[in-house]
Structures are given as structure tokens and as C-alpha cells.
Amino acid sequence: MRIGILVGVAGAFGAICRYGLGRLVIPLSMDFPMGTFAANMIGSFLMTFFAAGAIQRLTRNISLQTAITTGFIGSFTTFSALSMETVTLIQEGKWQVAFLYVVSSFAGGMGMAAFGQRRGLKS
């Protein structure tokens, strides 16, 4: 029960941070969904950074590790928003932006994950 509460609290905090980031970058985004893109890039880095070993150096508490990764990062990043925004862009006839969004999200996420893993192993 305790771990579920920790994951829920961390998830709420991650969702609030995701919302705040989205509000922060809205003026910069134009047609490109920059808020979701930024959250997914940051989350890709953080998840692999922690998975590569940094989380064990931060805390030995397994419940806290799960709360940070599954709760906070899991709710901070959002594949469902990426999917919905892509479909919306296509429905609006913005095929090029939709294509750029999907390709840059995948390539950027993989790049950030590789970077996070390298940094996590070194920390």
C-alpha cells in the first residue's frame, strides 16, 4: 500500500510539472507541440539516467526509486499526448508538422535516452 501511495504522489507531482512545462513553452510552439516534445525528451533522459544506476546512488529505498521512475517520470512523459497531437495535426492537414513531430520525437527520445544512459553510468 505504501508504495502505491508514493507512486501516486510522485505521479501527481510529475503531472503538475508536465502541465507547467506545457504552459511555459506554449508561446514558443506555434504549430509544433513543444510542451509534449520537451517533456518526452527530458523524461527519456531522466529514465535512462536513473536506470543506468544513478537512482541507486540517489537512494537505496526501492519504494522511492519506483515512485521517481514509474510515478514522477511516468506521468511527466506522455505517449498518449504525442499520439493525440499527431492525429490532430493530420486532421488539420498539417502533415509536414505531424511527420516532423513523430520523427523528431522518436529520434530525439532515442538520443536523449542514450545520453542519459551514458551520464547515469558515469555519475
pLDDT digits (tens, 9 = 90+) for 107-123: 999 999 999 999 998 87
H helices of 1-123, in order, are 2-29, 34-49, 55-58, 62-66, 74-76, 79-91, 95-122
Torsion of CA 3, 74, 41, 45, to 10 degrees: 30
Residue 30 pLDDT exceeds 80: no
Q: What is the mean pLDDT of the chain?
A: 93
CB 65 within 8 A of CB 59: yes
Place of cell 505531424: 98
pLDDT digits (tens, 9 = 90+) for 65-120: 999 999 999 999 989 999 999 999 999 999 999 999 999 999 999 999 999 999 99
Rounded Cα distance between 15 and 33, Å, is 17
pLDDT digits (tens, 9 = 90+) for 37-57: 999 999 999 999 999 988 888
Residue 69: what are its φ and ψ, rounded to 5°?
-80, -60
pLDDT at position 26 is 72
Cell numbers given for 88: 490532430
115, with CB counted inside 10 A (0-12, 13-18, 19+), is: middle
Separation of CA 61 from chain center: 23
Confidence of residue 25 (pLDDT cuts 50, 70, 90): confident
Confidence of residue 28 (pLDDT cuts 50, 70, 90): low
Separation of CA 53 from chain center: 18
What pTM did the predictor assign? 0.89
